[in-house]
Chains A and B, each alone.
Chain A
Amino acid sequence: MRSPAQHIRTGAALIAGVLLQGCVIPIPVPERYHYTSRQNLGHCVPDFIVPGKTTREDVLLALGQADGAALDESWLSYGCAYGKGGVFVFVYPSPAMPAFEAVEYRRLVVYFDEAGVVDRAQWDQRTCQEVEVVTQGSDVKPRPCIDLAGKDLPLVRERQEAKD
């Protein structure tokens, strides 16, 4: 007579066998902030940021070190990446395993005048469908749909104004 534990083990082995023969095992990816992402950004420009009043010092003391800055510090950028869930696909026997995930990128860019007072603040938020391919020893990451460090922004104020 077989014990319940033996039945469970046999069943698990059968299911695993069926899935492995199918060669694809989907594994859910839970919602969470990305590993290196900051988590102290909300979903809009913080109330304490008031153009003409709040200073660069105030912003840094409240939000911490920026993720990006203009060369002349005319803007500071803060960003976060929040994974909204997806699926990681284990493909047997392929060494490459794709992961599909919806990622919400949020970025706050605070622009300052020459006296270091807030000129304006801009909030960007976008959710992107991403595919990441994980292989043994390497990980091909997709390019974020919003550059959280602000590398797409003008490097200095003069160029920014010329562009405007």
Chain B
Amino acid sequence: MVALAGCASAPPAGQGDWLAFLDPGVTTREVVTTRLGAPDAAYEGGRIVAYWVGADEGGYHKPRQGSPPQYSLVLVFRRDGMLDRHSLVKVRGD
């Protein structure tokens, strides 16, 4: 019972504002790397990068080990390293 209760009441890993810093034309690649770490995938020489994102009642978070992410965050940077476009794509989950 104690173990079950502990499991059921695990605190949410999500932070509501985890991705709120993303602002096209303002956020730089360095800031993104500092906040989110190394990307999970990079395309076109790093102009486009992607991160897997988990989500729970607390908001977005880095996916837990062994837990499939619900979202894919795709970021497109300009040549000067500034964020140009971004998209948070729901890839699984209700």
B91 at the interface (CB under 8 A from A): yes
Q: Is the CB of B48 within 8 A of A39?
A: no
- Cα distance A6–B44 in the bound complex, in angstroms: 69
- Cα distance A73–B41 in the bound complex, in angstroms: 12
- With both chains docked as a complex, state the minimum distance between the C-beta of A90 and any C-beta of chain B, in angstroms: 24
**By DSSP majority rule, is chain B's interface helix, strand, loop, or mixed?**
strand
Within 8 A of A (CB), among B58-94: 68, 71-72, 74, 76, 85-87, 89-93
Chain A interface: which size bin? 10 to 19
- Cα distance A35–B51 in the bound complex, in angstroms: 19
A135 at the interface (CB under 8 A from B): no
Chain B interface: which size bin? 20 to 34
Q: Is the CB of A60 within 8 A of B91?
A: no
Q: Is the CB of B89 within 8 A of A39?
A: no
Q: Which of A11-19, A63-71, A144-152 binds B?
A: A63-71
- With both chains docked as a complex, state the minimum distance between the C-beta of A119 and any C-beta of chain B, in angstroms: 16
